[in-house]
Amino acid sequence: MMTVSVGDFLKSHDIKPSYQRVKIYEFLKNSKEHPTVEVIYSALNPEIPTLSKTTVYNTLKVFIDKGIAMAITIDEREVRFDAEIRMHGHFKCYKCHQVYDFEMADQTADVEALDGFQIMERQVFYYGLCDHCNQKLEEVEKQ
Amino acid sequence: MMTVSVGDFLKSHDIKPSYQRVKIYEFLKNSKEHPTVEVIYSALNPEIPTLSKTTVYNTLKVFIDKGIAMAITIDEREVRFDAEIRMHGHFKCYKCHQVYDFEMADQTADVEALDGFQIMERQVFYYGLCDHCNQKLEEVEKQ
DNA sequence: TTCTCAATTTGTAATGATTACAAATTGATA
DNA sequence: TATCAATTTGTAATCATTACAAATTGAGAA
Ligand SMILES: [Mn+2]
Ligand SMILES: [Mn+2]
Ligand SMILES: [Zn+2]
Ligand SMILES: [Zn+2]
């Protein structure tokens, strides 16, 4: 198993690895929850008391420009972020509001309606009840 | 060919067909552009000078609740609306910012990662260059 | 080491879409 | 015609995001 430091990883993507950038990337990479700016800021603020929310916004914009993160607009009200940039779908539970990843077959070829279009990005959002919340609902209905 | 008035259509979906609601629904139904609240408001304001933007927001919320319209969050900054509620994908051109519809095979069954999840809504967003803008780009490159 | 300067970070104010809310209007029914 | 709930309207509040200018940082120069 080969390990590359976050600093080297950022450098290899033409991003100067400042203290804040390293911490923000580490948090995003280790997070499974697709955090918002607010969540990232609140999580890192205790450790970096001088952190500014503007820095979180700026840094995420840099990550996206350099291709090591993506924005997820599955919520109407707030943008979430993801350090996993391989193609995958997102499911949002109406009840617990969690956002789950799911694997997806690449169905680019399926879309003959888009002949001549150059597809550069794909977002697939599903909504409903996650297995956990769905389970609880069924138990209630059984009564 | 059978025609039902917009008023009757709204009534059949449990929506009282006020003047504003009829006009807003007609505009949305006839529009191919997935308009924003601002676009709808600006388009109808000349005809309905007393129209309030709040009414546009309220009315669209009613349409969505009653299942005759849907919100499209393909833009990070502003929500677009669509009176076409059959399942279809959306493509947004980075250059001309138009949003195109495209037909899509229903691939619900494909997603075995979501066993136990109850999928209630699906949104598929593609981004890139539309055929028109892509064409123009190729012509420039040819020179 | 100290200096310099561009890149980065920070704090504050502005922006803009959306929502909250209360008053005015409408329109179906009595 | 009177009533009253539903709808519409206008204004203010909210809140995520952006703009911007000042402060800080840190890598290389001297
Ligand atoms: Mn993800
Ligand atoms: Mn559409
Ligand atoms: Zn859930
Ligand atoms: Zn285009």
Query: Is A126 close to B119, i.e. CB distance below 8 A?
Result: yes
Q: What pLDDT, on the 0 to 100 scale, is given for residue B100?
A: 95
Distance A50 CA to D23 C1' (A): 12
pLDDT average per 10 residues of sequence, chain A (143 residues): 83 97 98 97 97 98 98 92 96 93 76 88 94 81 63
What would the two tokens of residue A116 be?
A: 């001549």
- Bases in strand C with any atom closer than 7 Å to a protein CB: 7-12, 17-21, 27
Query: Is A91 close to B134, i.e. CB distance below 8 A?
Result: no
- CA distance to A2, A3, A87, B8, B64, per residue, from A102 (Å): 26, 26, 10, 42, 27
Distance B22 CA to D3 C1' (A): 26
The reply to whether B50 has its C-beta less than 7 Å from any atom of strand D is yes
Q: What pLDDT, on the 0 to 100 scale, is given for residue B49?
A: 96
Residue nearest to nucleotide C16 (CA to C1'): B77
CA A74 to mean position of chain CA atoms: 10
**Whole-number CA gyration radius for chain B:** 18
| A112: phi then psi, degrees, rounded to nearest 5 | -75, -15
Q: What pLDDT, on the 0 to 100 scale, is given for residue A113?
A: 82
Q: Which helix (H) or strand (E) holds A28?
A: helix A19-30
In chain B the domains, ranked by start, together with CATH numbers, are 1-84 (1.10.10.10), 86-143 (3.30.1490.190)
Residue nearest to nucleotide D25 (CA to C1'): A18
DSSP string, A88-107: -EEEEETTT--EEEE-----
How far apart CA B28 and CA B104 sit, in angstroms, is 22
DSSP string, B48-85: STT--HHHHHHHHHHHHHTTS-EEE--SSS--EEES--
- Rounded to two decimals, the pTM is 0.90
pLDDT average per 10 residues of sequence, chain B (143 residues): 84 97 98 96 97 98 97 92 96 93 76 88 94 81 63
A140 touches chain B (CB under 8 A): no
Do the beta carbons of residue B91 and residue A113 sit within 8 Å? no
Q: What pLDDT, on the 0 to 100 scale, is given for residue A112?
A: 77
SS3 B102: strand
